[in-house]
Amino acid sequence: MNRPADRLRQSREIPEPKAPPAPPAKAPEPPPPPGTDAVAFAELKNAAVTYDFLRKRGDPTQFWEVLRLARSKRAIAAPAEGREFVPPAPEVEASIVTELDFIRRQSSSLVRDLRRFLKQLPGLPTPADRLELALAFLLAPTREHQAVAKWVAEPDKHVAKAAEKIRGLAAITDPYREALRPWVLVPGTFDDAPAPKAAPKPASVPSADPETVNALRLAMRCREILAGVYLDADLWEALLLVTGQFEPTREALDQIEKDAEAEKLEEVEAKAEVLFKKVAGLRSMHGNWVQPLKEALLREKSTPQDPVLFELALGLTVVAPGVSAWAGLWVMDPTAHAQEAVDQWTRAIAKAEACRAAMAAT
């Protein structure tokens, strides 16, 4: 056993290399205030900042509107603790105002009728800021609008149920209201609710195809409903789904809203998850060429600064026949295929403007 060959056969312990030093641990996120959800609280802070900013600008904003903006990630981001507020860039402010106008076209008449209906309800939450926060939680998710429409259509049948619903929402919002202090929601006067701007004259824009307008409406509805259960989808993804499966998507959204009205929250989440899996499948299938296309279009001089219009134009571009062929060539060789890409993009922007005008006018 003392021969060199025997010694070589003996097992030797090879020291393991030292592990690289661990990166410094990130400071853990502070827990949300008791009784609150971290995501919902962050949305409320963004909504509060946006509300104050717009009010100081003279816009008669209602808090439910800015909470809707925050839910769809269109609100101004609240500054970090200890940081000063930085006003948004002019083009960002313009896009917020545009989105607000769209929200008002969709829902201002319903909210006006709701406020009239509330005057006959006994035992509403007080003070006024507590009621406004409860109404924001009611109106921010569009899935609740069907129930509200029933209340105002048949007020005598729904007084008790509506009052109970709003009192319940006030109890849910109380921890958030306390956590937002020292900020306090200062409600405005709602006799003259903010009205949407006058729609542009049809003669000033190209005509919009009704089928495309309906598809865009359904895609936007799909995205809002998914956002209501914290499932994010881009407009182009929802529009791809709607273009390929219009009736199944509409039926699924109708069922989700029906379940939401019946307060079957588990079924709402389960059915929204099924819908979102379809969206995620389209994202996996097309994202590898849509994302580079989106980044390239953002660098184009002709690209609109209005992010809402950009999203509409991008969505219409993605669902256009043959887009993946020219888009792929352009992204790989921008110079050789620039003219075709610019022509396609210019047509998409014009079509998006026409569709938005048509949606605003009806």
- Is 270 a member of any domain? yes
Q: At what angle do helices 246-261 and 235-244 cross, to 10 degrees?
A: 110
- Is 166 a member of any domain? yes
- Other Cβ atoms closer than 10 A to 177: 18
- Is 67 a member of any domain? yes
- If one compares 208 and 34, the residue with the highest pLDDT of the two is 34
Tokens representing residue 102 in the block? 């769209």
- Is 330 a member of any domain? yes
The predicted structure's pLDDT at residue 92:
79
Q: What is the dihedral of CA 326, 330, 331, 334, to 10 degrees?
A: 180
Q: Please report how many Cα atoms fall inside a 13 Å half-sphere around the Cα of residue 219, on the Cβ side.
A: 27
226 and 173 together in one domain: no
| Tally of domains in the chain | 2
pLDDT bracket for residue 136 (50, 70, 90):
very high
283 and 350 together in one domain: yes
The predicted structure's pLDDT at residue 52:
93
Segments forming the whole domain that contains residue 71:
38-77+88-179
pLDDT exceeds 90 at position 218 = yes
- Spatial neighbors of 4 by CB under 8 A, at least 6 apart, are none
Amino acid at 178: E
212 and 102 together in one domain: no
Reference 319, options 272, 286, 277, 280; nearest CA is: 286
pLDDT exceeds 70 at position 110 = yes
